[in-house]
Amino acid sequence: MQALFHSLGITDIWQLIAATMVFLLLPGPGTFCVLTCAAKGGVRGGFAAQAGLMLGDVVLMFLAAAGVAALLHANPLLFHGLQYLGAAYLAYLGARLLFARGEGGGTVVPFSNAAEFRRGFLVTLFNPKAIVFYMAFFPLFLDPATQQGALTFITMGAVISCCTFLYGSVLVMVGNAAARRMARNRTIARLASRAAGVFLIGFGIKLTTQ
């Protein structure tokens, strides 16, 4: 399978999956949104919010991929510059998580009387930093020599969406009470933030040594 994805321009599919899962495990607005909707609307409400989150992610990934693809075709040298800027940005995010004193979690954006699907969609779209993050994230796993343009970005987006769906399904099915307690536990949130910070810094270093 590794060879198949590499032929599409994805350098390491397993690292892509591992990185995505680590980022998903870090409590944030999306996590709390799914938990809240599952608590109020049951399984159907939780999955409706999850569908909204995934659609929002698709929109942001499309915008990010369009920017990366345009830069790759216009000037490969600038693309490599983006890789190093992305590495610095990821290291910066990692350092903030690693040395943060807060809980490392997020809060749910309140949308009164809104459907669960719309709630999840807007929670994602109201996080414009995600576009910058994806623009830094995509080049880490992209091989300019073998990339297949839109097909490569669609494949990467599909992998990320599958990981998001699996993680969201666990959030919904684990149970409202237990999941909410775990998500609000300050110790778990802090440890998750530290682990994600180390992971981000490690990927930044990995990129600069390639």
Residue range 11-63, pLDDT digits in tens: 888 988 988 888 888 766 677 778 777 767 777 888 898 999 899 888 888 87
Cα 2 to Cα 50, 104, 181, 192, distances in angstroms: 29, 34, 38, 28
Residue range 158-202, pLDDT digits in tens: 999 999 999 889 888 765 555 456 556 667 666 766 776 787 687
Tokens linked to 102: 């807060």
Of 114 and 18, the structure prediction assigns the larger pLDDT to: 18
3-state secondary structure 91-150: HHHHHHHHCCCCCCCCCCCCCCCCCHHHHHHHHHHCCCHHHHHHHHHHHHHECCCCCCCH
pTM value? Answer: 0.65
Looking at every residue in the chain, the average pLDDT score rounds to 75
Tell me which H or E stretch contains 82.
Answer: helix 76-98
Query: Cα-flanking dihedrals φ and ψ of residue 10, to 5°?
Result: -100, 115
Residue-range domain boundaries for the chain: 1-179
pLDDT band at 105 (very low <50, low <70, confident <90, very high): very low
Nearest partner of 139 among 7, 4, 12, judged by Cα: 12
Nearest partner of 33 among 103, 117, 143, judged by Cα: 117
